[in-house]
């Protein structure tokens, strides 16, 4: 295995956007692209580099897997009324391990985004940068969760108020309830997509928590429906790619059910553990595509609204001038 060619922070010298024998030829487009092109590019980039990148995700994925197994086992024991207090302790511990693994995994994925968007000369540089930014990622997640909670409470209060009005004014109350449910769904979807844009901005911009969160929501708002469409297409693509990977487990589960393995009384513990383990492995394969798609969409938005290509060209000229002076 060999490293891909080096290039400067804003340089155009490299002919590769990955590392290793399977690296994909550079196809970074300095013109705005369609959502389908951006998502398709994310699929191609990860497919070209999966042999080199997937091993880097192994230990974070194992951490998530251990946490999920502990959590699922504890939840099963809790449901079966077996020693509630110890089960609750293991359940909380498992959830904590999952969150730690997800945090670690997200840092790795954001390094792929930084490298693929050419904000780092090598993947090692991108990894080192994301390690320095790990607490910023945690801060964005906590602040975004707070915003999610506040918005949820506001919409739920609107829905409750509409339900109270049902006996007074039926038609307006029904309209208000429908409006509340639709508002809750659209708001949640937009906030999720804007959150993803904020964390990929973290991979590409050296700013603080509030600035990055504001960047994600501002860029998303400038193309509200396009952002919604990008999130929807990216989610559909990832789920379609994951569907064939679920087939082996689905077939085995169906055969086990036919043999009468006690599934009538609920999914047995060994199958619950198998499902969460399999899901974790599938996520290791599909989640990089999702983050890369958002990363390319972030770059596309900056092309459209900020002329990042011009800024890069100016920075390249400055770097060359410094090199000549030195």
Q: What is the pLDDT of residue 316?
A: 54
User: What's the token pair of residue 160?
Assistant: 């409750």
Query: How high is the pLDDT of residue 82?
Result: 56
Each domain of the chain, given as residue ranges in start order, spans: 35-325
pLDDT at position 87 = 67
Q: What is the DSSP string of 12-76?
A: ---SBSS-STTPPBP---SS---HHHHHHHHHHHHHHHHHHHGGGGHHHHHHHHHHHHHHHHHHH
Report field, pTM of the whole predicted structure over 0.85: no
The answer to whether residues 53 and 112 touch, using CB atoms and an 8 Å cutoff, is: yes
| Cβ–Cβ < 8 Å for 303, 124 | no
Per the document, the length of the chain is: 326
**Model pLDDT, residue 71:** 85
- Residues in the chain, pLDDT under 50: 1-26, 261-262, 264
pLDDT tens sequence across 201-230: 999 998 899 999 999 999 999 999 999 999
């Amino acid at each position: 295995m060999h490293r891909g060619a080096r290039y400067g922070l804003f340089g155009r010298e490299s002919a590769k956007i990955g590392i290793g024998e399977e690296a994909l030829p550079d196809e970074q487009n300095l013109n705005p692209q369609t959502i389908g092109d951006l998502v398709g590019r994310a699929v191609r980039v990860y497919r070209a580099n999966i042999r080199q990148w997937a091993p880097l995700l192994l230990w974070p994925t194992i951490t998530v897997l251990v946490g999920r197994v502990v959590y699922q086992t504890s939840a099963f024991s809790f449901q079966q009324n077996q020693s509630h207090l110890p089960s609750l302790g293991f359940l909380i511990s498992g959830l904590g391990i999952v969150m730690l693994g997800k945090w670690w995994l997200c840092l790795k994925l954001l390094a792929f985004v930084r490298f693929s968007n050419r904000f780092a000369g090598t993947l090692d540089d991108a990894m080192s940068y994301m390690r320095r930014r790990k607490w910023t990622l945690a801060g964005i997640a906590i602040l975004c969760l707070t915003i999610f909670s506040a918005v949820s409470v506001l919409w739920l209060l609107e829905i409750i108020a509409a339900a109270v009005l049902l006996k007074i004014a039926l038609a307006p109350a029904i309209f208000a309830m429908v409006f509340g449910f639709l508002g809750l769904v659209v708001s949640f979807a937009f906030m999720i997509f804007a959150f993803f844009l904020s964390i990929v901005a973290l991979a590409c911009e050296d700013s603080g928590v509030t600035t990055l969160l504001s960047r994600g929501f501002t860029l998303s708002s400038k193309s509200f429906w396009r952002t919604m469409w990008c999130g929807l297409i990216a989610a559909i693509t990832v789920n379609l790619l994951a569907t064939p990977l679920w087939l082996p487990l689905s077939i085995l589960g169906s055969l086990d059910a036919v043999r009468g393995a006690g599934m009538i009384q609920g999914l047995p513990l060994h199958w619950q553990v198998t499902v969460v383990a399999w899901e974790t492995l599938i996520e290791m394969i599909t989640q990089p595509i999702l983050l890369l798609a958002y990363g390319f969409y972030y770059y596309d938005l900056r092309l459209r609204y900020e002329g990042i290509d011009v800024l890069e060209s100016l920075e390249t000229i400055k770097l060359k001038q410094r090199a000549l002076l030195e």
